Structure 1
Amino acid sequence: MSPSPTSELIRGQRPPGPTGRWLSGNIQPFRNDRLAFLTDCAQRFGDVVALRLGPRRIWALNHPDLVEDVLVRHNRIFTKHFALRAAKPTLGEGLLTSEGEFWRRQRRLSQPAFHRDRIAGYGDVMVAYTDRMLRSWADGQQRDAQADMMQLTLEIVAKTLFDADIVKGAADIAEAMEVLMVNFTRKVNRLVPLPGWLPVPENFRFWRAMGVVNQTLDAIISGRRREERDRGDLLSMLLLASDPEGDGSGMSDRQLRDEVVTLFMAGHETTANTLAWAWLLLAKHPEIEARLHDELDEVLDDGRPPTVADLPRLRYTDMVITETLRVLPTVWLLGREATEEVEIGGYKAPTGTTMWMSQWVIHRDPRWFDEPETFLPDRWADGLARRLPRYAYFPFGGGPRICIGNHFAQMEAVLLLATIARRFRLIVPEGFTPRPIPTMTLRPEGGLPVQLEERRPASND
């Protein structure tokens, strides 16, 4: 039985936590190193830790049962927290940021687009676009693997989301996405938010970036409205969706835009960073990389590209992605805000308290994982996932608001890893380990420089 947080109500008491400054609270050590700060708090103060960032009351929850309390048992009394509200100027009322009945309706309308059978149909696109990228790669070439993965997943999400090949315009859109990501991070870091209407350089950059994204997406949506046919992409499903539990209507243009921009941003950033971390970890563990190559040579005879039909046999490849998401989780923190008083971990949380649940902290907890700091894909080989507490591993969140694209993301990461690794090794400079930067996602600081080494699959004769 797993260790459990206390269930005896501690009335009138505040959870333990680090001492903060009078005005700013704990914001400075959090800014200095978010991951180290949250890890240290868990080790020093336990499963419920009280923090304060300026005026915001935050509890860090470091036990899977408490995560389940928030995401599942009491999910109806929690809303998204202040950081995601700061993303609304970018994402609007998409699935990531909307709440209540509006969110439930949008989820019902969007869910059919992410049915497993529909998602499986995108496997050929993922592999074909990856092979197209590999035609520009050569033995001995120096590349930024993180930048390449961002470009690749951007092109894939554009094709699968709205059947568009955006190679020519990808640089402009990618640059706009980066501006929006930086803007979001700055908003979260400020004690006093910068008003969005203020005519300052930061806001000018944000407005220009939003203009690029909106112009691109609005043109696609308006054009597709006129077509009224299913082109086999996710946007077709969203355009044709109607709400069987309501009045049978579909999404407005504004709702479509918000969902599309949310999927567009989240759909390439997360997978790209997962793959970048996977290349780093494989380069640091040549014995694991060799195991991966052995599986690819066996399953993909004669070096052919993988298909969706190969996924059940690419077991070790899947474990490499699963373990990458444990050690270096792309989504490193979830947050929810209590809309009423609620008991969590034996304490009464006042209305307005923000709950932080960090995948980075919980995925590295020795109570759930042996050698938690070590990259060991084999740990998943003997049914570990079934033995763990449900929320000891939650790279895609959980509960009713679990990431709607989780199956898409896992399939894409496995197929792209297999397609690339069958052809190339990505060698990281000796001694180089990029610092993980926790923005909206966890990304390698400064990218991931690699040298390509073309490989020849071993013969199965």
Structure 2
Amino acid sequence: MAVLGAVWGLLAALGLLALGLYCCYVRYIHSKYDHIPGAPRESFIFGHLPILWRMLRKQEFMHDLFLQWAEKYGPVVRLNAFHRVSLMIVSPEGVKEFLMSPQYSKDPLVYSRIFSIFGERFIGNGLVTVCNHEHWHKQRRIMDPAFSRNYLIGLMETFNEKAEELMMKLEEKADGKKEFSMLTMMSRVTMDIIAKVAFGLELNALSDDQTPLPRAVTVTLEGMTKTRIPFIQYMPWKQKLIKEVKESVRLLRRVGKECLDQRREDIQNGKEVTLDILTQILKGDALEETRDDENILDNFVTFFVAGHETTANQLSFTVMALGQHPEILERLQAEVDDVLGAKRDIDYEDLGKLTYLSQVLKESLRLYPPVPGTVRWLEKEHVVNGIRIPANTTLVLSTYIMGRMERYFKDPLTFNPDRFSKDAPKPYYCYFPFSLGPRSCIGQVFAQMEAKVVMAKLLQRFEFQLVPGQSFKLVDAGTVRPLDGVMCKLKPRSCAGSCQA
């Protein structure tokens, strides 16, 4: 017993010594950043994390807290977590410096969190997450032709086809009484679109989103949000969810592998194949000395998950905003009637004429960006807005925060699409829903074409009303989405575009 007691005593002493040394290290890190403004730390070791954990538990939107801190302490705000200090940059000068230049890479520590989920490889080193600039540039060069103007024009047929299927589903609900989630419907149609145009898959999620693949995407996205809960993988009551998430990730990658093998076989056999994202990836991969199927699957999952979720959220937020502003909705429907009349198939040329719809979609992205911001890694000491930033620092740049600051947008909480009219002043380096610079989103033109087609058809056919009693709160679930799902009632428009035909 005496020996056992001595061992425990030694272990306790070593533990205290380790804790003491760690506290000294934390104090040393603090001293490097204490000249930078920030909210009071709630804990010496945990920093601001206890505040954020409480908000996460209550489903409160932490970006609004960051907005308050930016207004109070900006343009550079300190965020503490353990021995790491991140800095929130909320100045156009900082955004221009850190996003427009390729010398600032994405933060490997931050993006490694979605490399895998609960030990299963998820997005890996795909186009969004890869931090090495040379590796990213090679992937981007391979992908670019699949997002060229000519290719995107060729997608109009699929955009129309899938949007028309959505309209048929909505007609079944359009009795002015049925209540349904617009977010759910938009998620289904955008999933069907990305599956078809990127990988040649017919999912039919609009008919049934509980089939294996759509269900796997839903569960995987839920898993992404749960990874932020500390020590969740050790909680016995969460093991069923964790198992489902891991199985869903494996299914996504397995389906991707099947698509990949089939398409590769078709190309080798000289069959005519669609020039979609998958074909483009394989063409680029064929030029490489070594085959990297895992990286190809990374991009399959990246486009599949990110390519539908963000656009679905944008469309839902746009419906939410229009339901709250009937005068904007009326003006928008007048434009759609004028441009489209009663025609069912929207042409590429029509999209350019829907200028007010473009403004509405941009304003929706200002107030409700599905991706609130991005993160960069600063290797060398730098000075921004007169504030010295130490080397080896994580930088957080938020379009959500800057889009809601009075200093950049007059009356920022008002939904006003005229901010983006042709004659309005341009919001340089304070509005970046698709990021900026070389790492800006490759799919932004694709996404906005898709959003325009779906919204134009919806506005052409239906009157919609928001169900009373919704909170209209936002939730950060990996992407920013409406907490209540944008509950709506629909009824057919009396003229449905024919009055202008």
Q: Distance in 2 between matches of 1:260 and 1:333?
A: 23
Name the counterpart of 2:9: none
Question: What's the offset of the Cα at 1:250?
Answer: 8.0
Name the counterpart of 1:295: 335
Alignment of 1:150-161 (within 5 A): 150-161=187-198
Name the counterpart of 2:126: 94
Change (3 A) 1:233 1:124: same
Check whether the contact 1:363–1:369 (CA below 8 A) recurs between aligned residues.
yes
Check whether the contact 2:190–2:308 (CA below 8 A) recurs between aligned residues.
yes
1:261 aligns with 2:297: no
Question: Which residue identity is paired with 1:342?
Answer: H
Q: Distance in 2 between matches of 1:434 and 1:174?
A: 26
Runs of 4+ in 1 over 6 A off after TM superposition: none
Alignment of 1:279-294 (within 5 A): 279-294=319-334
Change (3 A) 1:250 1:154: farther
Change (3 A) 1:51 1:237: same
Name the counterpart of 2:17: none
Q: Which moved more, 1:374-383 or 1:406-415?
A: 374-383
Question: Which residue identity is paired with 2:256?
Answer: L
Change (3 A) 1:293 1:250: farther
Change (3 A) 1:445 1:250: farther
Q: State the Cα RMSD in Å.
A: 2.3
Q: Given the alignment, which residue of 280, 283, 291 partners 1:240?
A: 283
1:339 aligns with 2:379: yes
Change (3 A) 1:96 1:289: same
Q: Distance in 2 between matches of 1:265 and 1:394?
A: 21
Question: What's the offset of the Cα at 1:26?
Answer: 0.8
Q: TM-score, normalising length from structure 1?
A: 0.90
Change (3 A) 1:352 1:176: farther
Which whole-Å deviations, capped at 9, do the CAs of 1:177-221 have from their partners, x for residues lacking one?
23222322232353x68589xx94443122111122112111111
Question: What's the offset of the Cα at 1:403?
Answer: 0.5
1:376 aligns with 2:416: yes
Name the counterpart of 1:14: 35
Q: Which moved more, 1:446-455 or 1:398-407?
A: 446-455
1:103 aligns with 2:136: yes
Instruction: Give the aligned length.
Output: 442
**Which one has a bigger Cα radius of gyration?**
2
Q: Distance in 1 between matches of 2:263 and 2:379?
A: 39
Alignment of 1:219-238 (within 5 A): 219-228=258-267, 229-238=272-281
Question: What's the offset of the Cα at 1:76?
Answer: 1.7
- The percent of aligned pairs where both chains have the same amino acid is 27
Change (3 A) 1:107 1:193: farther
Q: Distance in 2 between matches of 1:251 and 1:445?
A: 42
Check whether the contact 2:465–2:488 (CA below 8 A) recurs between aligned residues.
yes
* Higher RCO, Cα 8 Å, sep 6+: 1
Segments of 5+ residues of structure 2 without an aligned counterpart are: 1-31, 56-60, 117-121
Name the counterpart of 1:7: none
Q: Given the alignment, which residue of 349, 355, 359 partners 1:309?
A: 349
Q: Given the alignment, which residue of 134, 150, 156 partners 1:117?
A: 150
Segments of 5+ residues of structure 1 without an aligned counterpart are: 1-10
Check whether the contact 1:238–1:251 (CA below 8 A) recurs between aligned residues.
no
Q: Distance in 2 between matches of 1:433 and 1:286?
A: 18
Q: TM-score, normalising length from structure 2?
A: 0.83
Q: Distance in 2 between matches of 1:242 and 1:170?
A: 32
Alignment of 1:133-152 (within 5 A): 133-138=166-171, 139-140=174-175, 141-152=178-189
Name the counterpart of 1:130: 163
Check whether the contact 1:78–1:339 (CA below 8 A) recurs between aligned residues.
no
Q: Distance in 1 between matches of 2:37 and 2:242?
A: 39
